[in-house]
Amino acid sequence: MPPVKPMLAKSVARIPPGMQYEAKWDGFRAIVHRDGDEVVIGSRTGKPLTRYFPELVTVLRAELPERCVVDGEIVIVHGNRLDFDRLTERIHPAKSRVDMLAERTPASFVAFDLLALGDASLLDTPLARRREALEAALTAVRPPVHLAPATTDVELAGQWFDQYEGAGLDGVIAKPLDLLYRPDARLMYKIKHERTADAVVAGYRLHKSGPVVGSLLLGLYDSEGALQHVGVSAAFPMKRRAELIEELAPLRMESAEGHPWAAWTDESAHESARMPGAPSRWSGTKDLSWLPLRPEWVCEVAYDHMEGNRFRHTARFRRWRPDRTPESCTYAQLEEPVRYDLAEVLAPR
């Protein structure tokens, strides 16, 4: 019975041998419960996503076995690749907007594990047998429901790691063949791309615990010479957060006047452009106020991949770069993966 939290993965540097390998999908993790006409889509936290994807409820009712629990990922495909920005738009309080987006940008569901079928729970069944049961249960499944590709060939998994990023995927998942399903436990392995970039530090937010740095606001210059916000770096030990306050003090500005992101302080500007510093459907009432810095310091950060013109996930601080000028930190330094057609990833095997 819902809610059931999904089994999770921990990061490793290389693809481990002797396992089952799958692509790492860049969407919303979802566990689908179907019991006859009743369909419940649970999120990673256990909260229901059902109301946000009404078009999926219809197809899941048609394509999945009559009674089952399936682990997978909700994705949106646009331009032959995954589009996470369009996916996040679906989390909206207004039913009218959800219904409009369901028609305009319908979602797909990629199934990669089977937790229950009929009266049988498969949580204590080894992965290899669960995969066989999943393939048998979804043998005739049709888009927009898909069976995730899987292989035990580590060399093929390496090819997927290199190629699939061009379709918007962000790595490979490795699962031991004898793995039992354990909700909320990090027993799988994820291998993600990691690259580095030099970015301008143009501001910071305070940590929720007090007057120490919570996150650094990062920027890159575009082709027209404008400093664009590209993400944040936030994972610091508490001692380092306090040290950063002292280090950054000489760059503190009394106000945002004259800062490249001065418009963030104007609430009306957030109505026409997506800018940090405004509450969103994700942040709710979270304090997103920020402190402006003169954009003079450069740091090297590690990131996995880009989503549009921003870092997809929180970047990891590596070091200060006093040898770099802010103006040299442009989008041109970023590596772009070779485009790959998502249809090739989802093609039946």
Catalytic residues: 24
Q: Is the peptide bond before 126 cis (omega within 30 degrees of 0)?
A: no
Cβ–Cβ under 8 Å, residues 264 and 275? yes
CB–CB of 230/309 below 8 Å?
A: yes
Please tell me the number of Cα atoms within 13 Å of 282 on its side-chain side.
Answer: 8
User: d(Cα 313, Cα 294) in Å, to the nearest integer?
Assistant: 24
Instruction: Report the C-alpha gap between 288 and 276 in whole angstroms.
Output: 8
Q: Report d(CA 48, CA 167) in Å as an integer.
A: 28
**Separation in Å, CA 42 to CA 45, 50, 277, 284, 305:** 8, 7, 29, 20, 27
Of 34, 43, 124, 32, give the one whose Cα is nearest residue 71. 32
**295, 227 in Cβ contact below 8 A?**
yes
Greatest C-alpha distance within the chain: 65
- Mapped onto helix, strand or coil, the DSSP state of residue 85 is helix
Q: Check: CB of residue 34 under 8 Å from CB of residue 212.
A: no
Q: For residues 151 and 20, is the Cβ–Cβ distance under 8 A?
A: yes
CA-to-CA dists, residue 295 to 9, 277, 331, angstroms: 37, 17, 16
Quote the radius of gyration of the chain (alpha carbons, Å).
Answer: 22
Beta strands in 46-177 (DSSP E): 67-75, 77-78, 81-82, 108-117, 120-121, 145-147, 150-151, 172-176
Tokens of 124: 């204590």
